[in-house]
Chains A and B, each alone.
Chain A
Amino acid sequence: MKTPRLSPETLLVLERFLERSTEWRYGYELSRETGLKSGTLYPILMRLEKYSLLEARWVVTEEGVPPRHTYRLTPNGLELARAKRAEARPRSLVREPAFCSG
């Protein structure tokens, strides 16, 4: 499976998707949760979609309001996100004692 370059911001976005992995998420919502600006967030989403790690669809939320784009991780995306989270976890466990006062 080809994967895109995973920057810290991309990992942050994947982490947010993992929190509610089955839900469709909005761009603005993700932006608020990750603190990423639109100019940073959307290239990440576009890249994830290009590598088939993310699926997107249009949904109509209210009558008379333009439809909104929503996103969800594909099975491949979920697998990658979980693998990356698993890779990151042991490192954090090792680091913690070094900064403990007791």
Chain B
Amino acid sequence: MLATHVRQTASVLLESAIRIAPPDTRDWGRAIRGEMDQVDGSWAAALWAFGGTSVMVKEALVSLVVPGRRTQSMVPDGGLFAKSASLRKGALLVSGACMLVALLFFAAPPFRQAFRVAMRPWSFMYQASSGNLQPGIEALARRAEAQHDPAGMAFCAVRMRDAKESARLAEEAVRLDPHLLWVYAILALRDPGLPEVGRWVDKLKAWDPQNGLLPLITAESIVRGRLPRGDWSPPKPEQERAWRAAMTAAFQAPRIDDYLDRFAELNRKVVPRYRFYDPYEVESRWEAGLPDATAESCERFAMLLLRSGKEFEARGDFVGARREYWTVARFGQMIDAQAHTDFEHRNGAYLQSLAYQPLKALAEKEGRSEEAALLGYLAEKFNPLKGANGNLAGGSAFGHFTSHRNAAVVEVAGLMILVFSGLAGVALSILIAGSVRGAWPAAQRAKPLATLVALASTVGLLFSSVTLYLTYRPYWYIFQGAIRNGDLDQARDLHEFLISTQMLPGLSPHFSRTLLEALIYSGSPSFLFYVWAGVTLLGVSGLALILLRRFRGRPHASPP
């Protein structure tokens, strides 16, 4: 029973293939179909028909691209869609339905955001070339100022790359709402060379005197003041003294707060109020944590303390040595405990690892074996080379590679939506032009092909839309969680995904690594992207060629 159905299906398939084959090869198709009746057994007959179908389809495809066979098109005048008006209507109905469903996707906020993310590499390049990298933030700042909204202004100030404008907005925001004073700390950490920093730190110290972050900012502004153009020069004695005093205050502070919790709270207020759902600008807490330069200062001062501890040890002053070592360890613990970013967490862990090793050696020297064992365990645990400290801030469920791959899929799906929309638009224009009275003969002749292109492109459009939506949806939920409750679950996935979509794959900050992966194995995102881009380009060129040949190569007079 099944074999009979398979045979019938194969027969229908072969007959359909004969219909789309070029006229001069259809006799061969009929010959294969005629021989099928001679084949013993339904499965064998089906295999015979499948072989014949492949021959006919191959001939049809060859006729599309081989110039000498232009009168033998896949869609000849008596072809699939030209032959049957009802079939053409059906195809147009399916095209319309696909187009409608694809358009309906735009009603869903996750899809709109996904589409913007997919267009990010191109919009980013355009913004970079026009010199306006933050048009959204600048517009939001203008709205917030017009509404005298301090939260909105603070939201923009901590994101704006223009340091002067950022400082102006921050001061205006704090003037309207003094509770936003912490915004100064974010700005001062990002740009400690600003002339306002000294004044801001004084205000912050009065407002939050126990926070070790503030002397860290002072130390950074001293370093930055010494290196106005990034040139290295030996510090003057008074600069070195001031820097050490600031670092001592930071290391001895009872606590550290980078204010990123307040940053998240500001997101929760401002984003829904202005409906500003730009994930690149909103989820930028990662950039607002302790910067590299601060970590370098911390490490340098920690080394000074450890060296001082060694000197105490050499003099036999074990109490003094332990005090120096524990100062470093405790500061590392403070940074680690409050860490909101991977970088802060790694920095805290690293400082601890520096301190636990000499503490362990000292405990062994003093014969406190249990304490030495514990400190040895901690030194191992926080050793950055061992990678044992896996409790990084902002979890990751997908992993680095998946986020990069998803970014490539989103970018390609967005590109395909544009390509298919363009093709569908051209095909529909030809269909409309061919349907009006006194239409161009060329447009009338191209209607069957335009129907085929409309069907293929709208199905492709729907498929690309579904792919984009399904791939981006998890990141939408992560983003929503981050806005609504400052949830850092899977925040690293979102962060890595957004970084990957910032630029075209291959030009990203991970360029060398990605390229290497592309060379090593073909699953690399950049490789995937280029293959897809190549396939797309070839497909579009092929279709353009076919359309060109249809218009230029067909005989001008159709036989009656």
Binding site for B on A (CB under 8 A): 26-28, 31, 37-40, 42-43, 45-46, 56, 65-69
Instruction: Check A69–B25 contact: CB distance below 8 A.
Output: no
Binding site for A on B (CB under 8 A): 25, 27-28, 30-35, 37-39, 47-52, 54-55, 58
Instruction: Check B28–A46 contact: CB distance below 8 A.
Output: yes
Contacts of A28 in B (CB 8 A): 35, 38-39, 48
Contacts of B54 in A (CB 8 A): 39
Beyond A42-B28, A46-B25, whether A37 also contacts B35 by CB under 8 A is: no
Instruction: Check B38–A38 contact: CB distance below 8 A.
Output: no
Instruction: Check B34–A37 contact: CB distance below 8 A.
Output: no
Contacts of A26 in B (CB 8 A): 35, 38
Once bound together, how far apart are the Cα atoms of A78 and B48, in whole Å? Answer: 28
User: How close is A39's CB to chain B, nearest CB, in angstroms?
Assistant: 3
Instruction: Check A66–B37 contact: CB distance below 8 A.
Output: yes
> Which applies to chain A's interface (DSSP): helix, strand, loop or mixed?
helix
Once bound together, how far apart are the Cα atoms of A19 and B277, in whole Å? Answer: 78
User: How close is B23's CB to chain A, nearest CB, in angstroms?
Assistant: 14
Once bound together, how far apart are the Cα atoms of A97 and B320, in whole Å? Answer: 96
Instruction: Check B38–A43 contact: CB distance below 8 A.
Output: no
Interface centre among B31, B37, B47, B52 (most CB of A within 10 A): B31
User: Which single member of A39, A40, A69 contacts B31 (CB below 8 Å)?
Assistant: A69
Instruction: Check B51–A40 contact: CB distance below 8 A.
Output: yes
User: Which single member of A31, A39, A40, A66 contacts B34 (CB below 8 Å)?
Assistant: A66
Instruction: Check B55–A68 contact: CB distance below 8 A.
Output: no
Known: A38-B48, A40-B51, A69-B35. 17 other contacts (CB 8 A): A26-B38, A27-B32, A28-B39, A28-B48, A37-B48, A38-B35, A38-B47, A38-B49, A39-B55, A42-B51, A43-B58, A66-B37, A67-B34, A68-B31, A68-B35, A69-B27, A69-B28
Contacts of B31 in A (CB 8 A): 27, 42, 56, 68-69
Once bound together, how far apart are the Cα atoms of A37 and B58, in whole Å? Answer: 16
Once bound together, how far apart are the Cα atoms of A37 and B49, in whole Å? Answer: 10
Beyond A27-B32, A46-B28, whether A38 also contacts B37 by CB under 8 A is: no
Contacts of B38 in A (CB 8 A): 26, 28, 68
Contacts of B49 in A (CB 8 A): 38
